Amino acid sequence: MAVRPSPTLEQLPLAASGPFTTTGRGPAVPDTGAWFGAFVNAQNRRTGDQLDAIDSFEEMVDRPLALAHSFHPWQDDFPSTYDYELVHRGKLLMISWAGTDTRSIVTGVYDEEIRRRAEAVRNFRTPILLRYRWEMDRPNLFNVVHSPEDYVAAWKHVRAIFTEVGADNAAWVWCPHADGFMDGRAQPYYPGDDQVDWLCADVYSGPEMYTFTQLMAPVLEWARHRPRPLLIGEFGVVQGNPGQRAAWLHEMRLALPQQPQIKGILYFSSEQDSRPRYATTVDKEPDAVKALTLLAKDPWLTRQPGH
């Protein structure tokens, strides 16, 4: 079944007060400013521990999250109990759904499984952001993604099933790494304006300590030609020399209001010794906590859940 074109950014209804509203393609886009959210890692995936981690993060930055981020492997059932609880707490949910082998997807072998996920999302009855197979441009995913052409074919196959079952409360979020736009590897994976509701990039300083502006410049240059809202699906800054984390977050806070296409940002808070690029917790670094708090409470990002 063909996927009907998504509305342009100008055609999307504005978010109203009260519960998050739907455009027929996921949540309505904020009229001004942007949503602030996070993924907060817990030691295990028990719902109670995950929610406690969210509570601790909100206490640290002294504000509630408008957006909450949930990850699901390909064969996970979702929305999960945790996902339901996040929405019950007034969060707008972003689900990141890992893919599987793209060439297998287009054979139809997973169609019934995809259909069950689509029906579950439809029955969730609340607008969500669905980030299907994010960071598809990562070299370590080559064996399952194969090529941009294979990825696009798989995206279209999965989304067509969601459309067929009427799961139009999900906005489809396309999200490579920001640095993939620097060397041109990300752009060929774009499925097309008729397939994507939100543009997205994951932005990490890396050990080089590239600034937010440096990392986002090629993303924004590419995105400005496409009438879609832009999401920072993950951002984080690793520990460097004293004061570097705080300076990075301060620069980001100043840069955001200059980019009105950005409508949401989600911090990625995780301590991962095996993956230093993603070791982004700041709670033991007071100046970084202060900088992240100032960012989270900036007037550009003070939209509360449901507003």
Annotated active-site positions, please? 135, 234
Concatenating the DSSP letter of every residue in 169-222 gives TEEEEE--BTHHHHTTSSGGG---TTT-SEEEEEEE-TTTT--HHHHHHHHHHH
- How many angstroms separate the CA atoms of 38 and 41, rounded? 10
Dist CA 57 CA 269 (whole Å): 9
Task: Give the whole-angstrom CA distance, residue 29 versus residue 198.
Answer: 10
CA torsion, ordered 242, 245, 249, 254, to nearest 10 deg: 40
Extract the tokens encoding 191: 């499925």
DSSP letter (8 states) at residue 144: H
Contacts of 40 (CB under 8 A, 6+ apart): 50, 53, 54, 56, 57, 269, 270
What tokens were used for 286? 């007071």
Which candidate, 129, 122, 58, places its Cα nearest to that of 89? 58
For residue 230, the SS3 value is strand
Rounded Cα distance, 130 and 231, in Å: 12
Q: How far is the C-alpha of 178 from the C-alpha of 188, rounded, in Å?
A: 14
| Residue recorded with tokens 């640095």 | 179
Cα 172 to Cα 128: distance, rounded to the nearest angstrom: 9
* Residue 300 · residue 8 · CB < 8 Å: no
